[in-house]
Amino acid sequence: MPTLATDTRNAAVDAVTALCNSGSIQFQTSAHNKVAEPTFGATAFNAASGGTATAKTVADDTDASAGTISHAHIFKTGGTDEVMQCTCTVTGGAGDFQISSLVIGAGDTVSVLSMSITQPAS
């Protein structure tokens, strides 16, 4: 199995995060209905370092729809082309996105406090 050098890991992460510029994170129910959609800025992530890139400020969705979050899709700008699908669990679980509550009420605010993407070395 190959082991990626740090520069390689940074390049891999930067290529992925560039796709997120002006994109969004769409939290969906198991039936793929949108619950909330916080949005990335024009430059979504800081440049990767040590194989990890951290997100710049993600704009809250201040008017979510009622539903129970099952998973999340990260979309490119325009909201149709997918970058990746991520798992979601309540905080303390093993999901990619750890959320204070998976059950969202109408009008709730969904706020991404922090986010990072890491390319492992191996």
Partner 1 sequence: MNEFIKQLSGGVLRLYDAQGVILAVGVLPEDVLASISGEEGDPSHKYVLVDFTVTVYRSGLACYGLIQTANGKLTPKLSCGLAGSGALLILPDAYVVAKTVLIIPGITLIEGQDEFNRQLAAILEKVIKPQVSANVQVIRAADKAKANVR
Tell me whether residue 77 or residue 89 sits nearer to partner 1 (CB atom): 89
**H-helix or E-strand containing 67?**
strand 67-68
> CA 44, CA 40: separation in Å to the nearest integer?
5
Distance of CA 55 to the CA centre of its chain: 9
Contacts with partner 1 by CB under 8 A lie at: 1-2, 4, 12-13, 16, 55, 64, 84, 86, 91, 96-101, 104-120, 122
Tell me whether residue 12 or residue 79 sits nearer to partner 1 (CB atom): 12
> CA 52, CA 54: separation in Å to the nearest integer?
7
State in angstroms the smallest separation of the CB of 78 from partner 1.
Answer: 21
State in angstroms the smallest separation of the CB of 95 from partner 1.
Answer: 9
State in angstroms the smallest separation of the CB of 1 from partner 1.
Answer: 6
- Select from 95, 97, 91, 83 the least CA-distant residue to 27: 97
